[in-house]
Structure 1
Amino acid sequence: MMEQVCATGARATSGRSIDARVSQRTFFGVSALLFVVSTGVTIAGAASMSAMGEMPMPGGWTMSMTWMRMCGQTWPGVAASFLGMWGVMMVAMMLPSLAPMLWRYREAVGGIGELRLGWLTVLVGVGYFFVWSAFGMAVFPLGAALAALEMELPALARAVPLAAGVIVLSAGALQFTAWKARRLACCRAEPGCCLMVPASPVLHALPADAATAWRHGLRLGLHCCHCCAGLTMVLLVLGMMDWRVMAVVTAAITVERLAPRGERVARVTGVGVVGAGLVLIVRAVGLG
């Protein structure tokens, strides 16, 4: 009898293990597919924007058409186009580092049906990208207003290359701060910070309800926006529609989140960003 019980228990354990592996493969497979699709759409959008050309500005630089209203366009239409592109771009850029956090959420919930767990995971992701969308909604009017001022004030336009270098330099310096280190820790594998439960080597369970999932997604998004503030500024300054800049920033964000020594990676990234800022400043001073 005891042998039968043990055998039954072993089969149940084996079955749960197989189900967990299937669930994990499915989750990361869907995540990879979403990443590929969003990346393709982002690259296509960037190519379309590049085909529109750029406007030469005083100071020897060019302004992207992202911030301008073209003939026949309305400002609400331009804003909607920007936010759509921004949202797809954020999915492509942030999903590689978000997917492990979503998987940890699934592990912390556990004990419910796969379908319900899937919907709760989607809700966490929607909350996360809602925060990034809100950030984009704040970025667009500021960028459009600044672009309008630069076209009207040549002196301001001539100062842009130097200002860009200073911003990039500051973003690189931010990578070395304790503030950055704390935010990065909250975006890595620390359950106490990211899962809203007491820090412990054991992963605590989270309530399997929509309100908790939504709040968890918002919390992840806010932590991520803070952690990526410097690198996001680099993206905006160096060219939001330049796929090469997007690729470099995406790689930097992903590696500092997932590498075993993420804080060291962040500092190495900071060295590169500071160097890029210095090059931009020297070039701007030479042009001036």
Structure 2
Amino acid sequence: MILPRALRHQRAITIMALVLLAVLAWTWIVAGAGMAMDPLVSIVPQSMSDIATPDMPMADMAMGDMPMADIPAPPIEGTSAWSGSRILLVMSMWWVMMIAMMLPAATPTILLYAKAVGASAHVSADGSNGAMSPATGAFLAGYLIVWGGFSVFATLLHMMLDATGLLSAMGMASQSRVLSAIVLIAAGAYQLSPLKEACLNHCRSPGQFLARHYRPGRLGGMRMGVIHGAYCVGCCWLLMALLFVGGVMNLAWIALLTLLVAAEKLLPWGRAVAIVAGLGCIGWGIAILVF
């Protein structure tokens, strides 16, 4: 009975570690992610009617008519526009945001892997003494490293959109109806694609994923975490691009996308959720272009 008790203890420690990591990530986001922004302002979604069109430059808008999301954010102390420190800060913001949004949906796979490691690698011989096993920690690290790589790409895209004046300073939301429509329609179309379905099926089937990719030890755990992270990026990368539509620092939008990702991956009818969301995004994008 010693091994089952150790396994239960190890599972409890792993759950606590995952919850703590998610709570810390969300706390940092709610606090403004180091971007010198008021989190209460960020909670309010930017109205699509407030998004400027290409033929209505922001410079020509009167301050009295300028929506809150378009008021320039206070400068980050010690940084200039896209200095090295600001790039690192924005990259960190994206990475922590990805952790907050993706970790809840990945938790079942991480816990199943931790259970497999505890049963097959002998908890007492793994050096964990009832704590999170090194292999499970390596799995988590590999998963987060992949999202860190995605955050580098997101930061580069963020810089490009900001440099062209397509993002508002405060809410970091699209100021172009055309850009918003393109992102929404692209995200919606991808939701309906075979590639999305294939990646989502891997994310929705932790048992099949482990049966196919299981490797023991720290390196094995790291490899599996990277593979699982790659499937998750393949599943959700265009959903994450929707942050540029609703606002990268829009807490309500972040929470909504987090719930959508979790519903797709965890609910029995997750694929149907993805399809409905895809059709909704396409319809929204078309509506922006038409109206």
The bucket for the TM-score relative to the shorter chain is 0.7 to 0.9
2:194 maps to which residue?
Answer: 178
Alignment correspondent of 1:281:
289
For residue 91 of structure 1, give the secondary structure of its aligned residue in structure 2. Answer: helix
Q: Distance in 2 between matches of 1:36 and 1:190?
A: 23
Where does structure 2 lack aligned partners over 5 or more consecutive residues? 43-50, 59-68, 167-173
C-alpha change, 1:191 and 1:64, in structure 2 (3 Å) is: farther
Aligned length: 254
The answer to whether the 8 Å contact 1:167/1:234 transfers is yes
What do you get for the CA RMSD once the two structures are aligned?
3.1
Question: Could you say which residue in structure 2 is the equivalent of 1:160?
Answer: 176
Hey, what does 2:63 align to over in structure 1? none
The one-letter code of the counterpart of 2:105 is S
Distance 2:215 2:57 in 1: 54
Structure 1 CA distance, aligned partners of 2:71 and 2:193?
A: 32
Decide which moves more: 222-231 or 24-33: 24-33
Q: How does 1:22-171 map to 2 (within 5 A)?
A: 22-45=9-32, 49-51=36-38, 59=56, 72-74=78-80, 75-110=83-118, 111-113=121-123, 115-116=127-128, 118-150=133-165, 160-171=176-187
**Alpha carbons 1:49, 1:65 under 8 Å: kept:** no
Aligned to 2:250: 242
Give the direction of change, closer, same or farther, for the CA distance of 1:46–1:273 in structure 2 (3 Å limit): farther
Which amino acid in the other structure matches residue 23 of structure 1? Q
Q: Secondary structure at the match of 2:31?
A: helix
1:272 is the counterpart of 2:249: no
Letter in 2 for 1:113: V
Q: How many Å apart are 1:63 and its aligned residue?
A: 5.5
Gaps of 5+ in 1: 1-11, 152-157, 199-204, 284-288
Which amino acid is 1:93 matched to?
A: M
Over 3 Å counting, the alpha-carbon distance change for 1:46 and 1:190 in structure 2 is closer
Contact persistence 2:138–2:219 (CA under 8 A): no
Q: Check conservation: 2:94, 2:155, Cα contact below 8 A.
A: no
Question: One-letter code of the match for 1:181?
Answer: E
After superposition, the Cα gap between the structure-2 partners of 1:137 and 1:48, relative to the gap in structure 1 and judged at 3 Å, is: closer
Partner of 1:5: none
Q: How does 1:183-202 map to 2 (within 5 A)?
A: 183-192=199-208, 194-195=209-210, 197=212
Match of 1:197, SS? helix
Farther off after superposition, 267-276 or 176-185: 267-276
Q: Give me the whole-angstrom Cα distance separating, in 2, the residues matched to 1:113 and 1:165.
A: 52
Give 1:79 deviation, angstroms: 0.8
- Check the 8 A contact 2:94/2:154 in 1, yes or no: no
Per-residue Cα deviation, 1:164-207 (whole angstroms, up to 9, x for no partner): 11211221122122221111011122544x33627xxxxxx631
1:218-237 matches, within 5 Å, as 218-237=226-245
| Percent of aligned positions that are identical | 27
Higher-helix-fraction structure: 1
Q: How far apart in 1 are the matches of 2:256 and 2:192?
A: 19
Distance 1:149 1:21 in 2: 53
What amino acid is the match of 2:154? V
